[in-house]
């Protein structure tokens, strides 16, 4: 027996958290019955599972792609307003993948695409505290005291942030490029942190996520992860 949301993640439908949302929204059927509560267990191979009317079966092959997300793309599988999504950067007929975590429409940089729900959960769930590193071009140059405030945590409308790693790595035309490492994944967190200390973010790029480094991958391009990178991700997912 296996929990329904874990089975959906293992089949590459979505991350485990997203699978839970799909269940609560009534999009999942087990043997013809719509399930709207968590905790239901199923027997793979015997029970028939459908998501939005489509039957789901386990996928043998696990795929891991690193994408350098450009501006002007939605991080999602589809957009109700018809805007381009990051999946539009993949060839037609590519196996079904989902993005791990979100980057804003105008945020660029490292994005993992996979069908491995356990890895997706490990990289995004707050309890794993996986570090994400961003380069933020901010308006003006933060003072040492404001940098220290960011390092210690700032108060946002949804509560104080955890301590962060923050350094100025470059000064550009009177503005600073900050390298910021955080272990949370709140909505627009880096932008809100910088705004909280009076320095608006002009441009934001994710450089690293856990063991993954963006490196020299060009914008809009993707590559398969190496065996070493995949092993490192799986070690994180097995850590709890």
104 carries an active-site annotation: yes
pLDDT for the residue 58: 66
Cα radius of gyration (the chain):
19
CATH number assigned to the domain covering 64-126+212-237: 3.30.70.580
What's the topology of domain 2-55?
A: 3.10.290
Q: How many helices (H) and strands (E) does the chain have?
A: 6, 17
User: pLDDT of 111-155, one tens digit each?
Assistant: 999 988 889 989 998 889 999 999 999 999 999 999 999 999 999
Is the pLDDT assigned to residue 12 strictly greater than 80?
no
* Burial zone of 174 (CB within 10 Å; 0-12 exposed, 13-18 middle, 19+ buried): exposed
Would you say the C-alpha torsion 188, 189, 194, 198 has a positive or negative sign?
Answer: positive
- Do the two domains 64-126+212-237 and 131-209 of this chain adopt the same fold? yes
- The domain defined by 131-209 folds into Alpha-Beta Plaits (3.30.70)
- Residue 238: is its pLDDT beyond 90? no
- Report the 10 Å Cβ neighbour count for 200: 13
Check 47, 79, 88, 104 and give the catalytic one: 104
Residues 6+ away with beta carbon under 8 Å from 96: 12, 115
State residue 17's pLDDT score.
84
pLDDT in tens, 35-87: 999 989 988 777 889 998 888 876 557 899 999 999 999 998 777 888 899 99
Domain residue spans of the chain:
2-55, 64-126+212-237, 131-209
What is the value of pTM for the model shown? 0.76
pLDDT band, very low/low/confident/very high, at 240 (cuts 50, 70, 90): low
CB 131 within 8 A of CB 183: yes
């Amino acid at each position: 027996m296996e929990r329904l949301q874990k089975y959906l993640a293992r089949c590459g439908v979505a991350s485990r958290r997203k699978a839970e949302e799909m269940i609560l929204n009534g999009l999942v059927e087990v043997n013809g019955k719509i399930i709207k509560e968590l905790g239901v267990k199923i027997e793979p191979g015997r029970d028939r599972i459908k998501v939005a009317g489509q039957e789901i079966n386990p996928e043998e092959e696990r795929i891991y792609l690193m994408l350098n997300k450009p501006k002007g793309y939605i991080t999602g599988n589809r957009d109700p307003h018809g805007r381009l999504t990051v999946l539009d950067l993949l060839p037609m007929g590519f196996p079904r993948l989902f993005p791990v975590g979100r980057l804003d429409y105008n945020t660029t940089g490292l994005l993992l695409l996979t069908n491995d729900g356990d890895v997706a959960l490990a990289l995004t769930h707050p309890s794993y505290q996986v570090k994400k590193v961003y380069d933020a071009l901010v308006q003006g140059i933060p003072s040492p005291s404001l940098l220290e405030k960011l390092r210690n945590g700032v108060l946002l409308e949804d509560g104080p942030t955890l301590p962060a790693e923050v350094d100025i790595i470059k000064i550009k035309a009177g503005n600073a490029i900050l390298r910021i490492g955080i272990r949370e994944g709140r909505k627009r967190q880096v932008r809100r942190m910088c705004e909280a200390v009076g320095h608006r973010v002009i441009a934001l790029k994710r450089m690293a996520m856990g063991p993954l480094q963006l490196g020299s991958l060009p914008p809009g391009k993707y590559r398969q992860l190496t065996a070493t990178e995949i092993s490192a991700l799986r070690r994180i997912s097995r850590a709890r």
